[in-house]
Every structure is written in C-alpha cells, then in structure tokens.
Amino acid sequence: MLDRYAINIIRSPLKLMSDLLDGQKITANHVTVTGFFIGLFALPMIALQWYWWGLFFIVINRIFDGLDGAVARRQGITDCGGFLDITLDFLFYSMVPFAFVLSDPDSNAVAGAFLIFSFIGTGASFLSFAVMAGKRNIESPVYKQKSLYYIGGLMEGTETIACFVLFCLFPDYFAPIAWIFGTLCWLTTATRIWAGYHTLKD
C-alpha cells in the first residue's frame, strides 16, 4: 500500500549511490547477492536476542535491496536479475520471523509459523499473477520499472520492513504483532486472488 510513496522518497538517494557503484563496474546482481548475505547475519543476531544488531543487518539488507534496483535501471533490467532479486527477497522475509522463533520458541513459535504461512499466501499470489501477466504482456500501470508485474496490496514491502523494525524494537511483543500483520497479509492475499482472477478472466 505504501510502496509507491516510499519509492518516490528513496529514489534520489538511491540514484546517487547507483551512479557511484556503476562507475566501479559493480552490477545489480553483485548488489543483490551481497545484500542477501549481509542480511543473513540478522538470523544469529536475533536468535541470540541481540535485537539491535539484528535490526542493523535488516536495514542494511533493505538498503541493498533498493540499491540493486537503482543499479539495474541504470545498467539495464534483466530477467535473471529480477529472478534473483525476488527469490532472495522472499527467503529473507521468511528468515526474519524464523529468527524470532529461535530466539524464544515457547512464546513465538505459533505466531512465527502463522506469519511465515501468511507470507506463502502473499508470495504465491504475487508471483503466480506475475507469471500469467508476463504471458499476456500485461504491464503494471504503477510499477513500470519492475522486471515483473508488481501487483500491489494492503501489505507490501514497506509495511513488511516496518513490521520487522517493530519486532526488533519491541521483541517481547513479537507474537501479537505477528498475529496482526499475518492477518493483514491474508487480507492482501484474498484481494490479490480476487483482482488477479478477474483481471486474467477479462
């Protein structure tokens, strides 16, 4: 829901950074993979209940995720780059709640499993529609710069990042936040299924 506004805010600083990286012959795929491996450090940090360090690595990962798109738009968007970006994104998204489950299994296990379950819904509805839209050459009217059709919803990337930040700032409240966010993700999944089905049917 907020992605279209967040993109406008971060576009200029990301462009400046992408100009510097492009001069160093660093590709968008380099940025994607580097950001993913940096983000993996959030797993042990959160599992050890070092939540501020976990937040640090989450933020770095998300900066790299925005930066790889800026570099790609400068150097040329590719299918392999888009595939790599979205795959590693979804792995990272599922890793964060798993890390909180490891940090306190007794309190967080069920809520964390529910949140990962909800991510399957948002991810499946997002990607399956993108495949079908690609077959029909349907372009997104809002996210034209994306390598695949980016179908929006109530809960998108910006909201997910905000949720992860709340997890790290208020780890004792992981379970209620996860239940609320997971429920909103299922509302997103339902609206995407409805909109995607009728778009493709028409």
> What pLDDT score was predicted for residue 22?
64
Instruction: Quick: pLDDT tens for 143-194.
Output: 444 444 555 566 677 889 999 999 999 999 999 999 999 999 999 899 888 8
**pTM, two decimal places:** 0.82
Select 3-201's CATH number: 3.30.43.10, 3.30.360.10, 1.20.120.1760, 1.10.3730.10: 1.20.120.1760
Residue 61 to residue 35: CA distance in whole angstroms: 5
Q: How confident is the model at residue 49 (pLDDT cuts 50, 70, 90)?
A: very high
The answer to whether the beta carbons of residues 32 and 187 sit under 8 Å apart is no
DSSP single-letter state for residue 172: G
pLDDT at 197: 82
Identify the helix (H) or strand (E) that includes residue 49.
none
pLDDT value of residue 56: 97
Task: Please state the rounded mean pLDDT for residues 63-74.
Answer: 81
Residue 143: the pLDDT is 42
Which of 66, 55, 57, 82 has the alpha carbon at shortest distance from 21? 66
Sign of the Cα torsion 137, 142, 143, 145 reads positive
Q: Where are the domains of the chain?
A: 3-201
The pLDDT value given to residue 1: 57
Q: Dihedral of CA 97/94/68/195: which sign? A: negative
Q: Which among 131, 54, 41 has a CA at the least distance from the CA of 86?
A: 131
